[in-house]
Amino acid sequence: MKKYNIAVVGATGMVGRTFLKVLEERNFPINNLYPMASKRSAGKKVTCQGREFEVEELTESSFDKDIDIALFSAGGDTSKKFSPIAASKGVIVVDNSSAFRMDDNVPLVVPEVNKDDIGKHKGIIANPNCSTIQAVVALKPLHEKYGLKRVVYSTYQAVSGSGVNGVRDLEEGLKGNDIKQCYPHPIANNCIPHIDVFMDNGYTKEEMKMINETHKILGSKDIKITATTVRVPVFDCHSESINVELEKDFNIEDIFKMYNESDDMVLMDDLDNNVYPLPSIAKGTDSVYVGRIRRDFSLDNGLNLWVVADNIRKGAATNAVQIAEVLIKEHM
Ligand code: A2P
């Protein structure tokens, strides 16, 4: 089997470390691995697939080597500067930042939803926002079968989505130290309806990301979408209430059957036994979980879903590695 040279940019970060774990778990065919980070981390060691690798400082010459694919998760500014440099040297970049997601020349991909867009890349492929990824996995089969008319997202997002500072704010807050290093308010015992910066239209950037990225991934700008994104005191896994208005009527039994038979989702919906998706169930897994499926009686063709996934894995690292798997299988 052919093996590939892989760079992991941001290898010491929360998502970067999970890239290494997921590459190992999925037995990705790695020849050489090049972990990269800032100067601070140069010389540190990381392990993957039983081998130890030394972290190198990311510089403009980092991609002068023979590298096939680079997985980036080192922030938008780093991606903006270094992804085009890597691509110009023939490296295919899978970028976890928001830097290129809405660029018309950059495919934005969730393999379960729009795998074929990968083939249109010109050197950079964008990994969507964590909240968007799990939502579109759930929405795709509904859109195909019944047509999406309107979607209302309400999210309950874990602090790990803010990186180490978010986790520290919650850890310290739970000990009674109400530090605010990451958020404008204490996150312990709180819900903060403010993720990323506010825009002129009163939405947060996170909310606009969910709306715009859903349109792009589903390839349909006509769907009416609104979103409220909320940071909650949960360490890992994002939960989402998704209210949907469909174009066509449906039988609720068919919706259950559709999710039950899906390879891409895990249906957890047994009300008699209090079974529904929870962050504690999704943590550490690669699945998207759906439950609390019920008709929304307040409108024609309305449906409610509760969708949970691990934001660092399926919402970031696993999705990027799945893109890389499609690349090597179908495009290299
Ligand atoms: P470092 O650990 O050397 O700072 P997180 O999202 O968990 O905060 O992780 C961010 C990742 O991006 C880390 O691996 C971090 O490296 C890396 N990083 C941040 N800024 C840069 C930069 N300017 N050049 C290269 N890597 C960077």
For the chain, the structural domain boundaries read 4-127+316-330, 131-311
Query: How many angstroms does the Cα of residue 39 sit away from the middle of ligand 1?
Result: 9
- DSSP class of residue 106 equals S
CA-closest residue to ligand 1 atom 7: 13
Cα separation of 191 and 230, whole Å?
A: 6
Query: How many angstroms does the Cα of residue 37 sit away from the middle of ligand 1?
Result: 5
CA-closest residue to ligand 1 atom 27: 38
Query: How many angstroms does the Cα of residue 239 sit away from the middle of ligand 1?
Result: 27
Cα separation of 120 and 228, whole Å?
A: 32
180 CB neighbour count, 10 Å cutoff: 12
CA-closest residue to ligand 1 atom 19: 74
Cα separation of 146 and 109, whole Å?
A: 22
Tell me if residue 290 falls in helix, strand or coil. strand
Q: What is the pLDDT of residue 79?
A: 98
Ligand 1 is surrounded, with C-beta below 6 A, by 10-14, 16, 37-38, 40-41, 58, 74-75, 78, 163-164
Q: Please provide residue 111's backbone torsions phi and psi, each rounded to the nearest 5 degrees.
A: -50, -35
Q: Which of 242, 252, 253, 224 is nearest to 288 (CA)?
A: 242
pLDDT in tens, 293-322: 999 999 999 999 999 999 999 999 999 999
Q: 4-127+316-330 — its CATH code? A: 3.40.50.720
Residues 118 and 112 sit within 8 Å (Cβ to Cβ) = no
Residue 280's alpha-carbon distances to 5, 25, 103, 236, 305, in angstroms, are 35, 21, 35, 8, 18
Probe residue for ligand 1, chosen from 9, 12, 81, 181 as the CB with the greatest number of ligand atoms within 8 Å = 12
Q: Is 331 a catalytic residue?
A: no
Q: Which of 8, 14, 13, 45 is nearest to 30 (CA)?
A: 8
Q: Please provide residue 50's backbone torsions phi and psi, each rounded to the nearest 5 degrees.
A: 75, 5
Tokens of 21: 């774990």
**Chain center to CA of 152:** 19
Question: For residue 146, which amino acid is it?
Answer: Y
* From 48, 121, 130, 143, the catalytic residue: 130
Tell me if residue 256 falls in helix, strand or coil. helix
Q: Is 191 a catalytic residue?
A: no
Long-range contacts of 105-108 (CB under 8 A, 24+ apart): 108/213, 108/216, 108/217
Probe residue for ligand 1, chosen from 54, 57, 78 as the CB with the greatest number of ligand atoms within 8 Å = 78
At a CB cut-off of 8 Å and minimum separation 6, what does 80 contact?
A: 97, 99
Q: What is the pLDDT of residue 226?
A: 99
Q: Which atom of ligand 1 is nearest to the CA of 12?
A: 14
**Mean pLDDT for all residues in the chain:** 98
Q: What is the pLDDT of residue 179?
A: 86
Query: How many angstroms does the Cα of residue 58 sit away from the middle of ligand 1?
Result: 10
Domains 4-127+316-330 and 131-311 share a fold: no
Q: Which atom of ligand 1 is nearest to the CA of 41?
A: 3
Query: How many angstroms does the Cα of residue 36 sit away from the middle of ligand 1?
Result: 9
> What parts of the chain have a pLDDT lower than 70?
none
| Superfamily grouping for domain 131-311 | Dihydrodipicolinate Reductase; domain 2 (3.30.360.10)
Q: What kind and span of H or E run contains 227? A: strand 224-231
At a CB cut-off of 8 Å and minimum separation 6, what does 90 contact?
A: none
Query: How many angstroms does the Cα of residue 84 sit away from the middle of ligand 1?
Result: 18
Residues 217 and 113 sit within 8 Å (Cβ to Cβ) = yes
Cα separation of 246 and 19, whole Å?
A: 36
At a CB cut-off of 8 Å and minimum separation 6, what does 208 contact?
A: 199, 201, 227
Q: Which atom of ligand 1 is nearest to the CA of 163?
A: 7
